[in-house]
Amino acid sequence: MANVNPHYRKLQAGFLFPEIEMRTRAFLENNPNVSVMRLGIGNTTEPLTPTVVAGLHEGVDLLARPETYSGYGDEQGAQALREALAQRYENYGVALDIEEIFISDGAKPDSANIQSIFRQDNAVALQDPGYPVYVDSNVIGGRTGGGADGQYEGLVYMPCTEDNQFFPALPGRKVDLIYLCSPNNPTGAAATLGQLKTFVDYAREHRAVIIFDAAYAVFISDRRLPRTIYEVEGAKECAIEISSFSKEAGFTGVRLGWTVVPKALVCEDAAPGELNNLWLRRQTTMFNGASNIVQQGGLAILSEQGQKESQELVGYYMANAKTIRQGLEGLGITCYGGDNAPYVWMKTPGGMPSWAFFDKVLDECHVEGTPGSGFGPSGEGYFRLSAFGHREDIERAVQSIQDNLTL
Ligand SMILES: *Cc1c(COP(=O)(O)O)cnc(C)c1O
């Protein structure tokens, strides 16, 4: 007799994005002549840049000739790509060995899978609100009890609120794994060096491990802010960094990311090098490498011309973010984010519950956003608007909110 993994049964139904999809579809069925402007799911909309397209074509062409054909590649990813990424970190003032960089098919799979190299009874702390994958992967990994109202027993939720500028205080009890995301999805907050240092110091003292999601690092416009956790002294001893080309270069559907597991990383029962080795073992067992064609595209992103073009792409989305934030602030709505991240995190007027506000904005303005409470209990009373979209759609959505939202 086979049995299902019981931890999957703890996952709460109505995962955020399917629920949004369902409500939007129901609205459209009742209002067949309306078009909904979608600022909900953070999905990229602008085409790949010319240099990246050429890189991907080259990846295909290499496979077309016997002398340049390749099959399975380097297990950790193409050496040239890892060298180019090491160069990016070098530009941030961080020296990495290419054996510390693991190329993957994206930051979501890595951030979900990384928990598997840690013991099941490790205590997990997460930012609240946060990217739902960290919670759900630890539920599946058996590190929680049951769930109710979007919270699971056994997890340590670290509230990120107006009062702490959306960066959490240290957990009140000893924890072993700490998930941090900066710039943050959904709040748009980007951590300072000093804020990150509080966690690095804590992790080093307690031999805890920080799992740092840097998927939005290139959206940081304030040059004083760190673009990698390794800018904090000592972070290599206690932090894993996960990142992606998805948002930076429109690779959401193409799929390419990377994870840094420093050789200096330690935890309670692992000496330097062991965690790096375990991740290699995990990836070589459960994953067979990112597509060689796509890695060629990644190399093109990191070329000088590719970087220029992707900065323009990022600038395009950030101009959208500014339009959203200014439009809402013009209505007297309190907004956060949108300056170092492509998300605007707005307070719902009058403290309206997030889902009620979702329905209201959909109904009155035909705009789809994301209810803050879907990212964790402390997201209640907030609403996320994504800056990923065509300029005209963003402008139309903001105009519609200005014209039609009753306050
Ligand atoms: C979009 C996003 C990712 C990217 O995931 P990919 O699998 O690389 O597309 C990772 N982390 C956060 C917080 C995100 O918002």
Residue identifier of the C-alpha nearest atom 2 of ligand 1: 215
CB 151 within 8 A of CB 158: no
pLDDT attached to residue 14: 58
Looking from the CA of residue 256, the nearest atom of ligand 1 is: 8
The structure tokens 């990846």 sit at 59
pLDDT attached to residue 13: 65
Pocket test for ligand 1, best of 45, 104, 108 (most atoms within 8 A of CB): 108
Count of domains in the chain?
2
CATH of the domain at 348: 3.90.1150.10
- Which of 238, 271, 302 corresponds to the end of one domain? 302
Q: Residues 181, 120: one domain?
A: yes
Residue identifier of the C-alpha nearest atom 12 of ligand 1: 215
**In-domain check, residue 5:** no
Residue identifier of the C-alpha nearest atom 4 of ligand 1: 107
Q: Residues 43, 80: one domain?
A: no
How many angstroms separate the Cα of 191 from the Cα of each of 91, 117, 244, 288?
Answer: 19, 27, 18, 34
Q: Residues 353, 383: one domain?
A: yes
Q: For residue 75, how far is the Cα from the chain centroid?
A: 24
- Which of 278, 302, 326 corresponds to the end of one domain? 302
pLDDT attached to residue 303: 98
- Which of 276, 302, 328 corresponds to the end of one domain? 302
- Asked if residue 186 has a cis previous peptide bond (ω within 30° of 0), the answer is yes
**In-domain check, residue 4:** no
Could you read off the pLDDT tens digit of each residue along the chain, which spans 407 residues?
999 999 999 997 657 888 999 999 999 999 999 999 999 988 999 999 999 999 999 999 999 999 999 999 999 999 999 999 999 999 999 999 999 999 999 999 999 999 999 999 999 999 999 999 999 999 999 999 998 877 999 999 999 999 999 999 999 999 999 999 999 999 999 999 999 999 999 999 999 999 999 999 999 999 999 999 999 999 999 999 999 999 999 999 999 999 999 999 999 999 999 999 999 999 999 999 999 999 999 999 999 999 999 999 999 999 999 999 999 999 999 999 999 999 999 999 999 999 999 999 999 999 999 999 999 999 999 999 999 999 999 999 999 999 999 98
Q: Residues 220, 143: one domain?
A: yes
Looking from the CA of residue 108, the nearest atom of ligand 1 is: 7
Q: Residues 123, 237: one domain?
A: yes
Q: Residues 263, 356: one domain?
A: no
The ligand 1 site (C-beta within 6 Å) comprises 42, 106-108, 131, 181, 185, 213, 215, 244, 246-247, 252, 257
User: Longest Cα pair distance anywhere in the chain, in angstroms?
Assistant: 66
**In-domain check, residue 1:** no
Q: Residues 342, 291: one domain?
A: no
Q: Residues 313, 243: one domain?
A: no
Q: Residues 259, 111: one domain?
A: yes
Looking from the CA of residue 251, the nearest atom of ligand 1 is: 9
For ligand 1, the distance from its centroid to the CA atom of residue 242, given in whole angstroms, is 9
For ligand 1, the distance from its centroid to the CA atom of residue 342, given in whole angstroms, is 12
pLDDT attached to residue 157: 97
Q: Residues 188, 326: one domain?
A: no
Q: Residues 111, 202: one domain?
A: yes
Q: Residues 227, 86: one domain?
A: yes
Residue identifier of the C-alpha nearest atom 15 of ligand 1: 185
CATH of the domain at 115: 3.40.640.10
**pTM for the whole thing?**
0.97
Full domain range(s) for residue 323: 12-47+306-404
| Burial of 17: CB neighbours in 10 Å, binned 0-12, 13-18, 19+ | middle
3-state helix, strand, coil split of the chain in percent (to 5) is: 45, 15, 40
How many angstroms separate the Cα of 13 from the Cα of each of 17, 84, 375?
Answer: 11, 41, 14
Looking from the CA of residue 106, the nearest atom of ligand 1 is: 8
pLDDT attached to residue 385: 98
For ligand 1, the distance from its centroid to the CA atom of residue 58, given in whole angstroms, is 26
Residue 380 backbone phi and psi in degrees, to 5: -60, 135
Pocket test for ligand 1, best of 245, 247, 252 (most atoms within 8 A of CB): 247
Looking from the CA of residue 252, the nearest atom of ligand 1 is: 9
Q: At what angle do helices 391-404 and 354-365 cross, to 10 degrees?
A: 100
